[in-house]
Structure 1
């Protein structure tokens, strides 16, 4: 869905894996920010994918990598659930509910500033300000109440 909404008309403006790669996004975003100083980097991550590479926040903090990490927090490994369902799995996919997770606390553990998005407007403001950041910031975007 994100690719339908994001402008990707400038070379190098959108980086992703082909076929997915759990845990790849945080490290890739930090590397991108270090490779191209001054260019805003916004990493949009599912909460399940973020958990597979969360330790990359440590590097972001130590390198003062100006990355805006936007974690879409739906409390589930949604991609795995969708795949399981598409393959005809019986009932709910076991082991894919993550429960309530507070990514602001996880970010703080690694030394990264964090905030929970209070509204769609708040999230837009945070993304719009990504280019002004001097270090990493994680935005926890709750998708379930």
Structure 2
């Protein structure tokens, strides 16, 4: 979308689990210099899949979590700049810095936002 309309700000809000299915897109965003802001909510697991397993009566999901993977680390390995956000204050400061000029950004940025894994969803 950013390549087709470069003057428009683009924000993609994703989960870390779903991001892993197409993570190579960060390499493309970095190499094509798209000014996309990727906001990744990182809880180290597949929360929606865990909830589906629970609702189906199967109890605990059979797949492991991946708490050792940081999306900021993966992004940087793919040449995509990233910021790991672990506090509310850091999130506010980072957004205050990034959002005002988002439509002029010529490179992507991943905000890897740490969220609690033990929340109750849905």
Task: Give the structure-1-normalised TM-score.
Answer: 0.70
Q: 1:51 aligns with which of 20, 45, 49?
A: 20
In the alignment, does 2:107 pair up with 1:107? no
Q: Deviations over 1:93-120 (max 9, x none)?
A: 0114122321111111111111112424
Does 2:90 align with 1:122?
Answer: no
Q: Deviations over 1:64-101 (max 9, x none)?
A: 01100111000110110111112221x21011412232
Describe the SS at the equivalent of 1:49: helix
1:3 aligned residue: none
- Quick one: structure 1 residues 42 and 76, their matched pair in 2 at CA, closer, same or farther if it must change by over 3 Å? same
Q: 5+ unaligned residues in a row in structure 2: which ranges?
A: 118-122
**Contact residue 73 and residue 101 of structure 1 kept, 8 A:** no
CA distance in 2, matches of 1:127, 1:88: 43
**Across the two proteins, how many residue pairs are aligned to each other?**
113
What RMSD over aligned residues (CA atoms) do the two structures have, in Å?
A: 1.8
CA distance in structure 2 between the partners assigned to 1:85 and 1:114 by the alignment: 33
* Residue 68 in structure 1 maps to residue 59 in structure 2: no
- Aligned-residue offset at 1:144: 3.2
Does 1 or 2 have the higher relative contact order (CA < 8 Å, sep 6+)? Answer: 2
Change in 2 beyond 3 A, CA 1:86/1:123: farther
